[in-house]
Structure 1
Amino acid sequence: MAEPVLKILIADDEPLAAERLQLLLARCEGVDLVGTASDGDGAVRMAEALKPDVMLLDIAMPGLDGIDVARAIAARRPGPAVVFITAFDQFAVAAFDVNAVDYLMKPVEPQRLGRAIERARAYLERNPPGTAPTPAPGTGFLEEFWASDLSGLVRIAVADIDRVSAERDYMRLHVGQRSWLIHHSMNALEEGLDPAMFVRLHRSAIVRRDFITGFQRVPSGRWIARLNDGAEQPVGRLYADAVRAMVGR
């Protein structure tokens, strides 16, 4: 059985970028371009009128930006699958805060757009019209981050993160021997991570629970967490109750 045709709406204030997306979509099977908006307010109006399955949103647009557009249409239950397409990588965390299914950097590569369309299709299969949205596995909590590296953006699965450390206005995600910086607050990050998987041990540190190998108390009475990579993480006084809960004391 053939897959249903996806109705797609483009919103981009750059005519050449919008035209490039149209040409790339013409090569994709199972999609139908229903409209193109050149600003955020127009994108919201067209989304209400055309009811697209997928929106390809630029972020930096006149009036409402792409993030605002995504928030505006989120009241639709379920709303269209949102794919952000932008020249800027600093919006990645904000994009996934509004449940975007993908985040592409300009100039968009044909294969990368194809994968984004497939992600959107999978999202719509989980959230068919007329039903309440069904979160992907990891209900209600963050599942992935997109961080900058020399090649562009890299996807980091939450389950792969060993620990998070604060560096001024940025958070460093540690995965094995590598790490990436994202622009996010520690409090918002703590709220977004599954507490069954992560525990906050300090105002500047969140650690994956199974990355902790033990605790020890120093003469001052404070706790120190021993980590799987041999490092030690001091436990802040405000977070000592979390340690006691873990060890059953």
Structure 2
Amino acid sequence: MASWWNPRTDTPHADTTTLICMPSAGNGDLQFDRWPATVGPWCVVRTPTMGGPGGEAVATASAGPAPPAPAGLPERAAELVADLMRRGIERFALFGHESAALLGYQVAVELNRRGAPAPLRLFVSGCPAPHYLRRYAGAAHTEPTDDELTERVLATTMAMGGNPMPWVVATGVRALRAELATLRAYRIPRPTPLRCPLTAIRWLDQDIAPEALAGWSAYGDTELVQLHGSRLSYATEPADLLRVISERATADDRRRSAEG
């Protein structure tokens, strides 16, 4: 089975507590470049930037091609969990923004299904709760044009300090198109309560209704955090987010140490 991790990028190790950051499609390879190597007591690692169904992964100039992505979010989660278990990785938290938040949720669900240790914490950012997704998307089910997706990729690339070369933009558009297909196909029969605490982050300048984020409370021990910023602030101005993660990481580690 192919590994999720590119050998040129960070890879989680069994003897290290890690924060696994899952990039969201269409936001490029620079999403976590402004993050430090550690947040609180946790080491930061990131999965490759994945495309969507049909096996299209986003190639990056720095890390080379990522491995093929399985068809949907549950399948991707199963592949990631299988790789973590093969490596003996048990002490990790998860962070995902937008569609990657749903992938993080599915990873936690898959760990539950396998009876594997739960994540230390799940951080979901800028994403409605799964059972709100179709209701919240509304007009977003209308297929955007390539020009609209190109405009979004260009704006994102520039905001993150990337070089909007034609192949970068074209790859981002394909990734966004694949991501939309994945989200249209995504269904959950009912909220699955998780065995880990969950922190849901709402960015005040992002167009997501408070109740859509509050819907994560149906998934277990959930805290809701509001931060100033837009949909890209997690990558371009992450200081407040990193402070929240660091505080939770330190508190969680202290609590586990006290519990023995």
Q: Same fold (TM over 0.5)?
A: no
Name the structure, 1 or 2, with higher relative contact order (CA <8 Å, separation 6+): 2
**1 or 2, which has the higher helix percentage?**
2
- TM normalised by structure 1 equals 0.38
- TM normalised by structure 2 equals 0.37
**1 or 2, which has the higher strand percentage?**
1
